[in-house]
C-alpha cells in the first residue's frame, strides 16, 4: 500500500472517531440563572416573600405567637390608616426603623410611651396582593425622597386620608380622595404607605381578617427596649 493511501485511511479513521466522540458527549446546557432579591425567589428573580415586623408588649407577643394576630380596634381615636372604631393591625418592613421609632417614643414627652418589649416577625407573601383590595402610597426612603414626594398628588392624597382617619375630617375638603379611599377606605383589606411623623418608614396596615391570615410564621424576640 502506498504511503499516501495509508495516510488517507488513518486520517479518515481519526475524523470518524472525533465525530463519534462529539455526538456522544454533547456540551451540557447551561443552568437557568436565578437571581435572589429577597426571602423568596421566582424564575424572574422577583421577590415575593418578605418579613414584616410588629413591636408590642410581651403579653401581646405571646398571644400573637399562640393564636395569631388580631385586628386592634380603638373606639375613640383613629390611626394613620384606620378611622376610629375600625380594626387594624400595623406592621413595617423595616426592622431597624420600627425599633428606632419605638425607642424614640420612650423619651419623647409629647408621646405616650409605647411598650415595645418584644418584636414579632412575620412572613408575608406579596403575591397575595392580587387577591386583596389594597391601596399603596409611595413610600420615600430618605429625606431627599420625602421632600420630592411632598410635591406630588400622592402626598396630597396621603395627607388628606390620614387626617380623615385620625381627626374625622380632611384638612382640605376641596381635595377629592381616590375612590377606594373615600369613607375611610371601608372596602380595603390592606393599605401600604408612610407612617405619620416618620414618613420614611413604611407600614402595612391589615384592615380585615381576610388579609390578616396571610401574616404567617410568627416568631418573637426581645428588643431590649
DSSP codes joined into one string, 11-76: HHHHHHHHHHHHHHSPPPPPPPP----SSS--TT----EEEEEEEE-HHHHHHHHHH---PEE-SS
Strand partners, 219: 121
The count of residues in the chain is 225
This prediction has a pTM of: 0.77
Residues 73 and 220: their CA atoms lie apart, in Å, by 23
Cβ pair 190, 140 in contact under 8 A: no
DSSP state of 128: G
pLDDT, residue 219, reads 97
Summarize pLDDT for 55-96 with one digit per residue, the tens: 999 999 999 999 999 999 988 889 999 999 999 999 999 999
Secondary structure (DSSP) of 177-189: PPGGGGGGGTT-S
Domain spans of the chain? 49-222
- Beta bridge partner(s), residue 222: 118
Position 104 scores a pLDDT of: 86
Q: Is 131 helix (H, G, I), strand (E, B) or coil?
A: helix
The pLDDT value recorded for residue 10 is 41
Low-confidence ranges of the chain (pLDDT < 70): 1-47, 108-113
Q: How far apart are CA 146 and CA 161, in angstroms?
A: 17
Amino acid at each position: 500500500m502506498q504511503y499516501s493511501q495509508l495516510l488517507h485511511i488513518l486520517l479518515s479513521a481519526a475524523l470518524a472517531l472525533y465525530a463519534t466522540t462529539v455526538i456522544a458527549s454533547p456540551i451540557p446546557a447551561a443552568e437557568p440563572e436565578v437571581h435572589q432579591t429577597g426571602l423568596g425567589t421566582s424564575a424572574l428573580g422577583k421577590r415575593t416573600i418578605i418579613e414584616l415586623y410588629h413591636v408590642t408588649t410581651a403579653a401581646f407577643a405571646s398571644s400573637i405567637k399562640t393564636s395569631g394576630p388580631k385586628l386592634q380596634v380603638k373606639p375613640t381615636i383613629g390611626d394613620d390608616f384606620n378611622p376610629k372604631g375600625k380594626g387594624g393591625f400595623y406592621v413595617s418592613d423595616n426592622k431597624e426603623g420600627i425599633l428606632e421609632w419605638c425607642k424614640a417614643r420612650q423619651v419623647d414627652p409629647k408621646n405616650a410611651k409605647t411598650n415595645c418589649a418584644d418584636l414579632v416577625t412575620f412572613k408575608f407573601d406579596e403575591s397575595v396582593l392580587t387577591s386583596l383590595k389594597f391601596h399603596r402610597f409611595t413610600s420615600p426612603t430618605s429625606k431627599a425622597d420625602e421632600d420630592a414626594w411632598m410635591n406630588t398628588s400622592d402626598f396630597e392624597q396621603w395627607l388628606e386620608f390620614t387626617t380623615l382617619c385620625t381627626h374625622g375630617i380632611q384638612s382640605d375638603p376641596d381635595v377629592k380622595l381616590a375612590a377606594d379611599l373615600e369613607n375611610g377606605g371601608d372596602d380595603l383589606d390592606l393599605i401600604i404607605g408612610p407612617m405619620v411623623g416618620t414618613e420614611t418608614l413604611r407600614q402595612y396596615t391589615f384592615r380585615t381578617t381576610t388579609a390578616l391570615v396571610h401574616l404567617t410564621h410568627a416568631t418573637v424576640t426581645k428588643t431590649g427596649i
